[in-house]
């Protein structure tokens, strides 16, 4: 019996370690990336109907501020999430097709297609998410640039953006930079962590009980 338990535990561990990275629909309008450990809004254009163009596009500063002020109610877990941001770009990124040395002591910058270190590039190039009204997991993914929250370090007037493409198009998903005052770019909200990770009520109650007992014993 003991040997059987050991074998079962090892089999479970092997299955966990061998599991592939995945996008997981958590319900309530949230999609979790279990590799980057971030949660996306299922709707890739929540701002539709807003902004100067009325379709969700806006300048970089406004999109950053919008994401930071966003609060979304999670009907599955009965909680409101308010810790949103725009996706990040990480440099250097040797996975990108173009490697540019900007000089000035800055690291080599990754431009072009194939980028996997940035969060949107990861969506496009690891999971194959493209522009579509309904990709199966996501809705309203736009065929137009999305701002990241990352300033282009060699030129602070610019920020990184990513482009998703529709199936069958000759161009590839890619990332580059643009001036922050351009109002033609979308915003997609993301947050760190998994919305499914919530304290269990019993755990919270036991923690409170233990804290109360600690205070009582010290008295």
Residue pLDDT, tens place only, 18-50: 346 899 999 999 999 999 999 999 999 999 999
79-81 and 132-134: which strand pairing? unpaired
Burial grade of 102 (CB within 10 A; 0-12, 13-18, 19 or more): middle
Q: What is the pLDDT of residues 64-106, one digit of tens each?
A: 999 999 999 999 999 999 999 999 999 999 999 999 999 999 9
Say what the pLDDT of residue 184 is: 94
Q: What is the pLDDT of residues 148-194, one digit of tens each?
A: 999 999 999 999 999 999 987 889 999 999 999 999 999 999 999 99
Secondary structure (DSSP) of 67-99: HHH--EEETTTTEEE---BPPP--S--TTSSEE
Q: What is the mean pLDDT of residues 118-123?
A: 98
Q: Measuring CA to CA, which residue among 194, 149, 113 is closest to residue 121?
A: 113
Handedness of CA 176, 180, 184, 185 (dihedral sign): positive
Query: Is the pTM higher than 0.75?
Result: yes
Residue 204 has pLDDT above 80, yes or no: no
What was the pLDDT predicted at 211? 53
């Amino acid at each position: 019996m003991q040997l059987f338990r050991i074998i079962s535990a090892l089999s479970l561990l092997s299955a966990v370690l061998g599991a592939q990275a995945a996008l997981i629909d958590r319900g309530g309008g949230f999609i979790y990336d279990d590799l980057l450990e971030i949660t996306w809004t299922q709707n890739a254009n929540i701002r539709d109907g807003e902004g100067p163009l009325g379709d969700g596009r806006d300048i970089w500063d406004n999109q950053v501020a919008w994401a930071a002020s966003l609060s979304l109610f999670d009907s599955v877990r009965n909680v409101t999430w308010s810790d949103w941001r725009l996706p990040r770009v990480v440099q250097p990124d040797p996975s990108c097709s173009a490697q540019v040395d900007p000089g000035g002591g800055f690291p080599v910058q990754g431009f072009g297609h194939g980028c996997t270190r940035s969060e949107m590039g990861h969506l496009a190039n690891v999971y194959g998410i493209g522009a579509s009204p309904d990709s199966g997991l996501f809705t309203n993914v736009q065929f137009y640039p999305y701002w990241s929250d990352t300033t282009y370090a060699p030129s602070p007037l610019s920020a990184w953006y990513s482009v998703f493409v529709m199936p069958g198009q000759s161009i590839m998903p890619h990332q580059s930079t643009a001036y922050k005052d351009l109002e033609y770019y979308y915003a997609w909200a993301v947050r760190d962590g998994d919305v499914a990770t919530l304290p269990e009520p019993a755990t919270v109650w036991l923690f409170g009980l233990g804290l109360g007992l600690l205070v009582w014993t010290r008295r």
